[in-house]
Amino acid sequence: MEQTLVIIKPDGVKRKLIGRIIQRFEDRKLTILKMRQGTLSRDLAKEHYQHLAEKPFFHEILDYMTSGPVVFIVLEGEQAIEMVRKMVGKTNALEADPGTIRGDFATNKSENIVHASDCEEAATIEIQRFFGSSM
């Protein structure tokens, strides 16, 4: 079984989409191992998005991700990372297919409802980052 991390971003929480998003994962037989709501500190957001530090929109991402509560979820299932990435859809909401989370709920590229780990290495690091070694 594979584990992955999903973050329901501030726009998803603010728009009260938490239950609808979680339902989609459960419908695909993914198991929620851990879940918590919290607000990202600027330092933790910087660490999480360090790979984008040289991009001109880096500070906008930090402002957005620290603007309100988020929901952190560890999911487990067969090929969970690939399945969740397909369910989430393309980063740019305008390019995300209908039926994906972003295609159905996101309104623009920068506020795109969810984050999902993109590979096994990232999932391991991100789960550790947001849940510690208790996994």
For 2-134, CATH number?
3.30.70.141
Identify the active-site residue in 48, 51, 59, 115. 115
pTM for the model stands at 0.94
Q: How far apart are CA 17 and CA 127, in angstroms?
A: 22
CA torsion, ordered 77, 13, 35, 100, to nearest 10 deg: 0
Q: If you count them, how many residues does the chain have? A: 135
pLDDT in tens, the chain (135 residues): 999 999 999 999 999 999 999 999 999 999 999 999 999 999 999 999 999 999 999 999 999 999 999 999 999 999 999 999 999 999 898 899 999 999 999 988 888 999 999 999 999 999 999 998 654
48 catalytic per annotation: no
